[in-house]
A and B are shown apart, each in its own frame.
Chain A
Amino acid sequence: MPVLVLAEHDHKTIKSATLNTIAAARKLDSEVHVLVAGHECDEAAQAASQIHGISKVLKTDAPELEKHLAENVAPLIVSVAKDYSHLLAPASTFGKNVLPRAAALLDTQQISDITAVIDADTFERLIYAGNAIATVKSSDSLKLITVRATAFDPVKADGGNSPIEEVAPTGDSGLSSFVGQELSKSDRPELGAARVVISGGRGVGSAENFAIIEKLADKLGGAVGASRAAVDAGYVSNDYQVGQTGKVVAPELYIAVGISGAIQHLAGMKDSKVIVAINKDEEAPIFQIADYGLVADLFEAVPELESKL
């Protein structure tokens, strides 16, 4: 039986976490199909058909799917589920919101946030904020799975040419409606997908001082992150938060500035390939996991680093 990946998209482009999710799906040794559910989402469906390693795109286009409301997307997933052995979605706020709703409708115990595929029934997932890895085996005949994007290298977004098949919508539940949204405007890459992430902690001291972090990020073409302490102190908004209660990132280069390294923060970034820590407290726990630690005043070191790149 083929496996189905629920695409995360903005009706025009496919979000990068979808590519990591497809990579996880490909480890199941089955054909991979991708479901694009949205409204006026032709461009996104076209983009999906280009993805390497998949064999079919399912597209459902209906006004009630425009805002990806879980009450409307979950019944659609249920309507196509019988043709598949596994349904996967990225463990983003989109996938986390929608997939458990579908899982309950299908009487399936979802497996959340997997980091490895052992076989068709067995998966690794992190528990206790990444302080333990559980290997779990599912006895459900249909498996619903969310995938931690950073644990799988993405498949290529091009090189494919899959057919697009229309799937009938399942209607508007009438239970919920979209009121509005407030997205952080930024020309920087998305935190979860950036090659370089520069994060600031409480040591940065104020919202204004975050400008030096942003300047360094712009020089490196990176994203800006923050520790929970910096978010709690009001320096930046919560969507910058890296950690157990925020986003999990694994960029090639992670630069932690003025971050002491609480367990909760480490849970969100310790899988980065190279970690740099800049902190004036040489006892800070962040240095124990950093590849390159620099004990220095961040207000001198960060501008100097930026000028020398």
Chain B
Amino acid sequence: MKILVPVKRAVDYNVKIRVKSDESGVELGNVKMSMNPFDEIAIEEATKLKESGKATEIIAVSIGPSQAQETIRTAMAIGADRGILVETDAPTDIGGVEPLAVAKTLKAIVDKESPDLVIMGKQSIDDDSNQTGQMLAALLGWAQGTFASEVNLGDGTVQVTREIDGGLETLELKMPAIVTTDLRLNEPRYASLPNIMKAKKKPLDIMKPEDLGVDYTPRLSVVKVNEPQPRVGGGKVTDIDELVDKLKNEAKVI
């Protein structure tokens, strides 16, 4: 069984981003970039399926600048067998290529590679769209198991437990299928040094969007990017009596 895992190079989750002073986007100069955390969970899950003998090959795909090769190498150090980079110079500061265009790119790759399962992050932490997996499922006419906290392979089916508002829901999907990962699915491992070295030798194909017949012209134009109004806080109370008094008489919320 073949698993495809899309991985995205995004601003590291510990970085506090800054908006450009001309409001055109987000400052990315000298900012640490990493694999989108939800994608790390996806590659970990695929790797576990391979280690348990249920999967035979893992292909990591990224869409982005040349540096996204590093992200693919990271996926290889965790467990991907080979990689595909669809190289584009589209600006990446507000999320890069739009989700619909990414889904179309991935569909073209799925059509070539015929994986049984695509495991991918539920969202990337730059533009926070949470769309690509659902869109890819739609374009392929496949079932989708979004926001997964548990994945169990059956015979031609996969059971996915999903994080929904108010609890959990379990669905059974016909394969091939799309699974998008939520935080509790697993804890991604740290790649070992030998595996990082081995990753450097694994095959990595580089393609262009034109090779796949996908148009990256954005549908959404960014008018401006601002910083949110900072919240003014810092008020203190000395004891519970004062707190209760303020909540009742000043804030009038109780």
Cross-chain contact A139 with B221 (CB below 8 angstroms): yes
How many positions in chain B have a CB within 8 Å of any CB in the partner chain? 82
Asked if B1 CB lies within 8 Å of chain A CBs, one says: no
Cross-chain contact A273 with B253 (CB below 8 angstroms): yes
Cross-chain contact B220 with A101 (CB below 8 angstroms): no
Cross-chain contact A112 with B223 (CB below 8 angstroms): no
Interface hub of A70, A97, A295 (most chain B Cβ within 10 A) = A97
Asked if B70 CB lies within 8 Å of chain A CBs, one says: no
Distance, CA A122 to CA B167, complexed state (A): 34
Distance, CA A69 to CA B233, complexed state (A): 43
Chain B residues whose CB sits within 8 angstroms of the CB of A244 once the complex forms: 125
Asked if B247 CB lies within 8 Å of chain A CBs, one says: yes
Asked if A165 CB lies within 8 Å of chain B CBs, one says: no
Chain B residues whose CB sits within 8 angstroms of the CB of A159 once the complex forms: none
For the complex formed, measure the closest distance between the CB of A63 and the CB atoms of chain B, giving whole angstroms.
16
Chain B residues whose CB sits within 8 angstroms of the CB of A110 once the complex forms: 99-100, 129, 131
Interface residues on A, range: 35 or more
Cross-chain contact A175 with B142 (CB below 8 angstroms): yes
Distance, CA A104 to CA B125, complexed state (A): 21
- List residues 191-233 of chain B with CB under 8 A from any CB of chain A: 218-228, 231, 233
For the complex formed, measure the closest distance between the CB of B193 and the CB atoms of chain A, giving whole angstroms.
27
Option from B128, B146, B247 in Cβ contact (under 8 Å) with A276:
B247
For the complex formed, measure the closest distance between the CB of A108 and the CB atoms of chain B, giving whole angstroms.
7
> Main secondary structure on chain A at its contact with chain B?
mixed
Q: Beta-carbon contacts of A244-262 to B below 8 Å, as 1s and 0s?
A: 1101000011000000000
Distance, CA A35 to CA B223, complexed state (A): 31
Cross-chain contact B171 with A290 (CB below 8 angstroms): no
Cross-chain contact A294 with B243 (CB below 8 angstroms): yes
Cross-chain contact A290 with B234 (CB below 8 angstroms): yes
Chain B residues whose CB sits within 8 angstroms of the CB of A181 once the complex forms: 164, 167-170
* Chain A, Cβ-Cβ closest to B246: A292
Option from B167, B218, B220, B237 in Cβ contact (under 8 Å) with A111:
B220
Chain B residues whose CB sits within 8 angstroms of the CB of A196 once the complex forms: 253-254
Chain A residues whose CB sits within 8 angstroms of the CB of B170 once the complex forms: 178-181
For the complex formed, measure the closest distance between the CB of B74 and the CB atoms of chain A, giving whole angstroms.
21
Distance, CA A126 to CA B134, complexed state (A): 20
Chain B residues whose CB sits within 8 angstroms of the CB of A182 once the complex forms: 167-169
Given the contacts A74-B138, A308-B244, A128 and B17 also touching, CB distance less than 8 Å = yes
Asked if A155 CB lies within 8 Å of chain B CBs, one says: no
Given the contacts A101-B137, A128-B17, A133-B225, A179 and B172 also touching, CB distance less than 8 Å = yes
**Nearest 4 A/B pairs, CB to CB:** A104-B135, A109-B219, A100-B134, A104-B138
Can you list 29 pairs linking A and B with CB atoms under 8 Å apart? A70-B134, A70-B146, A94-B164, A100-B133, A100-B134, A100-B138, A101-B134, A101-B144, A109-B98, A127-B26, A130-B228, A131-B227, A132-B26, A133-B225, A133-B226, A137-B223, A138-B220, A175-B141, A176-B173, A178-B170, A181-B164, A247-B165, A288-B233, A289-B231, A291-B251, A293-B235, A293-B236, A293-B237, A308-B244
Interface residue ranges, A against B (CB under 8 Å): 69-71, 74, 92-94, 96-105, 107-113, 122, 126-140, 173-184, 190, 192, 196, 220, 237-239, 244-245, 247, 252-253, 263-264, 270, 273-276, 287-296, 301, 304-305, 308-309
